[in-house]
Amino acid sequence: MNRRTHATLLTGLLLVAATTVGAQQRVGARPTAAEAQRFMEKIEKDLLDLGTRSGRASWVAANFITDDTEELSAQAQTAYSVAVQRYAVEAKRFDDAQLSAPLRRKFLLLKLALVAPPPGNPEEAAEMTRLQVGLEADYGKGTYCRKTAGSKDECLQLPDLEKILRESRDPKALLEAWQGWHTISRPMRPRYARFVELSNKGARELGFSNTGEMWRSAYDMSPQELERELERLWTQVRPFYLQLHAYARTKLGEKYGTQLVPPNGLIPAHLFGNMWAQDWSNVYDVMAPKASNAGGVDISALLAAKQVDAKAMVKYGEGFFTSLGLQKLPETFWQRSLFVKPRDREVVCHASAWDLDTQDDVRLKVCLVPTSEDFIVVHHELGHLYYDLAYKKLPYLFRGGANDSFHEAIGDAVALSITPTYLKQVGLLAEIPPPSGDTALLLRQALDRVAFLPFGLLIDRWRWKVFSGEVSPADYNKAWWELRAKYQGISRPSEATPEDFDPGAKFHVPANTPYTRYFLARILQFQFYRAMCREAGFTGPLYRCSFYGSKEAGRKLEAMLEKGAGQPWQKTLFEMTGERQIDANAMLEYFEPLSKWLEAQNKGTKLGWGQE
């Protein structure tokens, strides 16, 4: 999460932004490649400085939520965004210049550098960034207060409500927790609609029809080609998801009754142990196979038995990467990161990895608890930081993932190696379970990684409709639940009010973080994982592989990370895996034994829910 701007430069940049483009347009001579190179060197120097300053302002705003830190962060983000927007518009004069491939790529990445391009109008640019910072802060401060038997209300924030969803099996308590959190986003809708309007204006000034089209242009292919690729990938994985959904519906129906969980219909969203029904692993106890010796490995219990605290969880994550031959994290990482929710202030608890200076000042911001979910989160987030550290020597605009899904997939590929073998190697597990527990192991993984797929796909499909104007603010919530029914097969657990804005209860919407990257990463991670398992010399069933300790796999990984965004991602993927497109075959190979098992369990059960 990098916010690249600085408050003290705001006024000058805003004024320059309004005047520079016209001055450049008066230059009649065709620019040369040498001029383009000098222009790019200035851009990269300026943006590096602005980005470092912005990162620090944003870090403070996320860790000390006050009106003042919000304003300082908004000013800093505005300064950076306006600078990028100004430079991207100016850069159009080099469109016809004869440039080298790396330089041409830098100009393309400059144009795509912002996920929320501000309008050229200074007042509107400042307004848009204040809206974005305010929406994210509202999410971080989100609180649900309920009446208690005592004299005071009990006020709960997201970690408290998530704990209820994770641990309770009382449907009334689950419903209250779900509804309580979804009240925090109601005030966001009019401001989010205004944010969309301003962001679209900025995107049009860069030559895109709307912000959604700009997002879809960031994958070394046309927006139309990306949409076809997403549909192809969903077609590959959808049959497996339908099997998992049918099995989950049967098990939840047995637990809560078919009045609440219709045998052939949608599953209410509050029953999955996760606020957004994107990860079903917290209800594994409800889903677990009945066969003997099928308990699998409960990482939460292992962490509790060893009294592993938050910092120790991060040490385990670092240890995985260093076992591959990668460097230790900088000492400043341990001094400056946030691992536990403070008791004395509000913070944005959503887990995030921060690269503040594109060099060595990398940090985590996360409110860890010793659970299986957070153990995996640690490995995922450290994947971002090791990527950041690997490409730090590249030019500024190449310091990024080959595409944004690569950044997400690295840590998840490592997390796939959190197998019983790995847990034994690091001393968390005494004995590796027998093969009779393999179904349980795969089911746990599927409840996380496969259950997520339609959710990962639909969020941006909703936003693309919002950005294009196909969905109006009055229909935000209606369109959200139509997509969740179509793709996930879930329903809102209670009737919505006209004020509800349920998309805002998911961090990535108020934070304006594109989400297609997560869908692609869920598939791409299996390709990375299989490639590193092969490099490590593993020959057994794919799901049993751990490449922990393999220097060969580490060299393969680091070679990919060091490429950053300096070349089209298809080339980087081929060098890593031998494959030229993102493909679900590695995922399907991994889950093949579970797929056959689910088909047997679902025999005679209707797949689907009639709205897909």
Among 89-93, 295-299, 346-350, 381-385, name the one with the lowest average pLDDT. 295-299
Told to judge if 391 belongs to the known catalytic residues of this protein, a careful annotator would answer: no
pLDDT at 433: 86
Contact 80, 30 (CB under 8 A): no
Told to judge if 379 belongs to the known catalytic residues of this protein, a careful annotator would answer: no
Q: What is the mean pLDDT of residues 496-504?
A: 96
pLDDT at 249: 98
Contact 293, 434 (CB under 8 A): yes
- Integer angstrom CA distances of residue 67 from 73, 99, 137, 260: 10, 46, 9, 43
Q: Which helix (H) or strand (E) holds 491?
A: strand 490-491
Taking the C-alpha atoms of residue 112 and residue 310, their distance in angstroms, rounded to an integer, is 36
Would the pLDDT of 394 be above 80? Answer: yes
Told to judge if 316 belongs to the known catalytic residues of this protein, a careful annotator would answer: no
Contact 450, 244 (CB under 8 A): yes
Contact 447, 404 (CB under 8 A): no
Contact 329, 361 (CB under 8 A): no
| Residue 52 maps to a domain | yes
Structural domains counted in the chain: 2
Q: Which one is catalytic: 381, 409, 485, 529?
A: 381
**Structural tokens at position 100:** 């080298």
pLDDT at 3: 36
pLDDT at 148: 78
Told to judge if 386 belongs to the known catalytic residues of this protein, a careful annotator would answer: no
Q: Which one is catalytic: 384, 536, 584, 586?
A: 384
Q: Which one is catalytic: 137, 440, 508, 565?
A: 508
| Residue 38 maps to a domain | yes
| Residue 184 maps to a domain | no
* Cβ neighbours of 145 (radius 10 Å): 12
Q: What is the pLDDT of residues 145-188, one digit of tens each?
A: 998 776 688 999 999 999 999 999 999 999 999 999 999 999 99
Residue 119, φ and ψ in degrees, nearest 5: -65, 160
Told to judge if 182 belongs to the known catalytic residues of this protein, a careful annotator would answer: no
Taking the C-alpha atoms of residue 179 and residue 546, their distance in angstroms, rounded to an integer, is 40
Q: What is the mean pLDDT of residues 402-428?
A: 94
pLDDT band of 468, cuts 50, 70, 90: very high
| Residue 96 maps to a domain | yes
| Residue 387 maps to a domain | yes
Domain of residue 69 covers 7-138
Q: What is the pLDDT of residues 336-386, one digit of tens each?
A: 999 999 988 888 888 999 999 999 999 999 999 999 889 999 999 999 999
Q: What is the pLDDT of residues 104-142, one digit of tens each?
A: 999 999 989 889 899 989 999 999 989 998 999 999 999
Conformation bin of residue 489: beta by default, left when phi > 0, alpha when psi is -120 to 50: left
State percent of the chain over pLDDT 90: 82
Question: Over the chain, what is the mean pLDDT?
Answer: 91
| Residue 418 maps to a domain | yes
Q: What share of the chain is helix, strand, coil (3-state, %, to 5)?
A: 60, 5, 35
| Residue 236 maps to a domain | no
pLDDT at 162: 95
* Burial readout 430-449 (b: 16 or more C-beta within 10 A, e: otherwise): eeebeeebbbbbbbbbbbbb
What SS3 class is residue 12? helix
pLDDT at 474: 96
Told to judge if 245 belongs to the known catalytic residues of this protein, a careful annotator would answer: no
**Structural tokens at position 97:** 């210049």
Taking the C-alpha atoms of residue 293 and residue 351, their distance in angstroms, rounded to an integer, is 34
Q: Which of 138, 163, 182 lies at the terminal end of a domain, its last residue?
A: 138
pLDDT band of 295, cuts 50, 70, 90: low
Query: What are the residues whose beta carbons fall under 8 Å from the beta carbon of 344, sequence distance 6 or more?
Result: none
Report the DSSP pairing between strands 267-268 and 490-491.
Answer: parallel
Would the pLDDT of 294 be above 80? Answer: no
Residue (of 254, 255, 252, 256) closest to 244 by Cα position: 252
**Structural tokens at position 496:** 């919505």
Q: What is the pLDDT of residues 427-462, one digit of tens each?
A: 999 998 888 789 988 999 999 999 999 999 999 999
Q: Which one is catalytic: 182, 245, 270, 350?
A: 350
What SS3 class is residue 338? strand
Taking the C-alpha atoms of residue 193 and residue 212, their distance in angstroms, rounded to an integer, is 14
β-pair partners for 354: 363
pLDDT band of 7, cuts 50, 70, 90: very low
Handedness of CA 358, 207, 226, 194 (dihedral sign): positive
Q: Which one is catalytic: 193, 288, 351, 496?
A: 351
Q: Which one is catalytic: 44, 176, 213, 408?
A: 408
Residue (of 437, 455, 488) closest to 597 by Cα position: 437
What SS3 class is residue 547? coil
Would the pLDDT of 16 be above 80? Answer: no
Told to judge if 192 belongs to the known catalytic residues of this protein, a careful annotator would answer: no
| Residue 55 maps to a domain | yes
Taking the C-alpha atoms of residue 387 and residue 355, their distance in angstroms, rounded to an integer, is 10
Told to judge if 6 belongs to the known catalytic residues of this protein, a careful annotator would answer: no
According to DSSP, residue 607 is labeled P
- Integer angstrom CA distances of residue 136 from 70, 102, 106, 512: 9, 35, 30, 9
Taking the C-alpha atoms of residue 51 and residue 57, their distance in angstroms, rounded to an integer, is 10
β-pair partners for 364: 353
Q: What is the pLDDT of residues 217-274, one digit of tens each?
A: 999 999 999 999 999 999 999 999 999 999 999 999 999 999 999 999 999 999 999 9
What SS3 class is residue 337? coil
Q: Which of 117, 138, 159 lies at the terminal end of a domain, its last residue?
A: 138
Taking the C-alpha atoms of residue 203 and residue 462, their distance in angstroms, rounded to an integer, is 18
Q: Which one is catalytic: 380, 409, 511, 531?
A: 380
pLDDT at 291: 66
pLDDT band of 44, cuts 50, 70, 90: very high
Taking the C-alpha atoms of residue 212 and residue 507, their distance in angstroms, rounded to an integer, is 18
Alpha helices in 26-66 (DSSP H): 33-63
pLDDT at 296: 66
Query: What are the residues whose beta carbons fall under 8 Å from the beta carbon of 307, sequence distance 6 or more?
Result: none
pLDDT band of 10, cuts 50, 70, 90: very low
**DSSP-assigned states of every residue in 430-449:** SSPPPGGGHHHHHHHHHHHH
Which residue carries 């209410």 as its tokens? 268
Q: Which one is catalytic: 80, 284, 487, 518?
A: 518
Taking the C-alpha atoms of residue 512 and residue 460, their distance in angstroms, rounded to an integer, is 10
* Burial readout 79-100 (b: 16 or more C-beta within 10 A, e: otherwise): bbbbbbbbbbbbbebbeebebe
* Burial readout 169-178 (b: 16 or more C-beta within 10 A, e: otherwise): eebeebbbbb
* Cβ neighbours of 398 (radius 10 Å): 18
